[in-house]
Structure 1
Amino acid sequence: MLLRRNLLVVICGVIIASGAVSGTEVVGAVGGEVSFGPDKPLPPPVSSITWKHIKDGETVKAIEWEDGEITAPNPRFKGITTLDTKTGNITIKELTVEHSGVYTIDISGKEQAQRFTLTVMESVPQPVIKTEPSSSPGAVYLSCKYNATVIWKNSAGKKLTGSAFENTITVEKNGNPDEFYTCTLENKASRKTSKPVYERDLFKAESDGVAGLTATLIGVILGIPGILFAAFLGLYKLCPPFHNCVSPICGDAPCIGGLLKCLDGEKKGGQAKGNNDSTVVNLLNQKEKNIEDAKEDAKEDAKEDAKEDAKEDAKEAAEEDAKEDAKEDAKEDAKEDAKENAKEDAKEDAKEDA
C-alpha cells in the first residue's frame, strides 16, 4: 500500500514537472518577424532579463537587460532584436533559419520553466493558376502545382475538391461569365492567394468560335441578295443584250425602273462628264499656278522689305557715327580754346607783373 502511494506521488511529480517545462511552439517566415514571451506577469522586483537561444547544443545570449541597459551580445541577434522590459517579450525581425531553436528566459538571474521552440521556414510563393485543356466538352483543368497545402475556392467562397494533393481541379462551364476561381497556398508561416481566373476567360475561345460562326452565317445570308443585285446592275450596264432584254420589262417598275433610268442617264452623260473632268483639271492647274505666283510675289516683297530695312539701319548707324564724331570734334575744339585762353592769361599776367 505504501509502495503504491509513493509510486503515485512520483508519477504526479513527473506529470507536473512535464507540464511546467512544456514548450510553446512559435512559427515564423524567413524575412518576417516574431514576438513571444512569458504567459504570466513578471514577478517583482525585476533586476534583469536575459533571453537565451539553444541550437545544435550551443547556448548563446540573444538579448539581455541589466542595470538599465539592453544589449544583444551575439551577432546573430544584434540590430534585429528588441526586449520589452515590462512584459519580458522578445521580438526578432528579419528572421533566418539560423534563428530556429529553443529560447529560454532568465528573470532576475533565475531561469524560468517556460520554453519556446521557434521554427523559421520559407514563406510560400505567389501562386499562379495554369489552364490545361480537358477531353470533356465545356470543361477545363485548373492546376496550382506547388509543394504546399493548396486550397481552391470559387467566387462564392466555396472550397472545391481536386485531385491528389488538391493540385488540379476540373471546372465546367455554367453560363456565368463573372464566376471565378482562386488558388491559395499556405504553410505554418505564410499564406498567399492567386489572382482570380474568370469563366469568361476560360471559355473565351469557345465563345469566340460560336460568335464568329454566327456572324459568318448572318453575313452570308444578308450578302447573297446584295451580290445578286450587284450582278444584275453590272450586266445591265455592261451587257447590251441583257440591257435590251431587261429594259422593256423593268423600265416601268417603281423602284427598279428609276434605278435603270439613272444608269442609262449616267451612260449617256459619260462624254459630258469627261468634258467636265477636263474643265476641273484646268481649273486646278490654274489654281496651282496662282499659288506659285503668289509665293514668288511674297518672296520679292520680302526681299524689298529686307533691303529697305538694311538701308534704314545704315542711315541710323551713319547718323549715330556723325553725332559721335561731332561730339569728339567739339571736345577737341573746347580743349584747344582752353589752352589758348590759358596762354593768353599767362602772358597778360606776366606783363602785369613786369
Structure 2
Amino acid sequence: MRKRSVFGLLVGLLLAVLDFSLAEDIMAYFKVGGELELKPTFTGRISNILWKLNGDLVAEWVEDIVSLDYYGRFKERTTLDTTTGVLILKKLDTSDEGKYTVEINNKVHPQRFTGKAITVVPKPDVWVQPLKCNADMDSCSLKCEKEKAAIEDAGPIVYEWKEDNGKWQQKGMNITISKTADAHIKTFTCKMKNPVSEEESDPKENVFYKEPTPPDVGLAVGITIPVVAAFILGISGFVFRKKILACLPKRQNGEATRTVNGNTLSSPPDGDVNVPLKENSDLTTEARESA
C-alpha cells in the first residue's frame, strides 16, 4: 500500500510539473473605455466553461445544466462564445486589470491572461541631434519622442520610420542619417504604436537632402532632333512613295525612257542618250532636204 501511495504521489507531481510547463502567461492590453478579447487555444468540443478574474466569477456555462450567465459588474458588457471559449469584455476600466483564468470541460486551461490598462500613444515629434546638425556634418541622429509624462502609461511602444512616402519599417526610437547614404531622401517621418493605438509625426526635413541634378537639356535636344527628323522622313517616304516613284525614270523593255518637249525618247541599255535639239517637226524637215 505504501509503495502504491508513493507511486501515486510521484505521478501527481509529474502531472503537476507537466501542467506548469504547459502554462502560458499572455499579456492582454486594453484602453480605458475600450474592449478586450481573450482567446484560449482550444479545438475540441466544449461542454462546460468557467471564466474568472482574480478568482472572482466572470461567466459560466454548463451544457444542459447551467444556462450562460454573467456575474456582478460583468453583466450587460460581457459576451462568451460557448463553442470557442472566447470571452469579450467592453467598457473597460482599471478595475478590469488582473489575472483572467478559464476552465474548459472541468479542467484549468494552461493559458492565463493578464489584463492591463494602457493609454493611447500621443502624436510624436522628430528631433534632430545635435540641435546644430547641418549639411556640413557627416551624420546626425533623429529621435522619435514625446515628453515622458505623455507616454508613461502607454505600455509597450514600438517605433516605425519611413523615408518620404515609402513603406513603414520598424526601428528603434533613434536612427542615424548620413550625408553620403541619405542625401536623396527629402523627409523622415516616425510613428509610435502600442497594442491599442498608433500616431505618426509630421515629416521632418532632411538637412542632407540634395535636389536631383536635372538632365543636360542641350544633349537631350541634340539626340532628339535627329531621331525625330529620321522618323518624319521615314513616314513621309512611306506616305508619298507613289509620287516619288512616278518621278523616277521609267524602263520599258530594259530601256530607260524620258520625255523632252512633249516627245518620249528611249536610250539604249548602256545609258547613252541622244537628246534631240529640235522638235519632231524640225527633224522631219531636215530629213527631207537631205533626201
TM-score normalized with structure 2 length: 0.49
Question: Which one has the bigger helix percentage?
Answer: 1
Give TM-score, length-normalised by structure 1: 0.42
- Which structure carries more strand by proportion? 2
Higher RCO (C-alpha 8 Å, min separation 6): 2
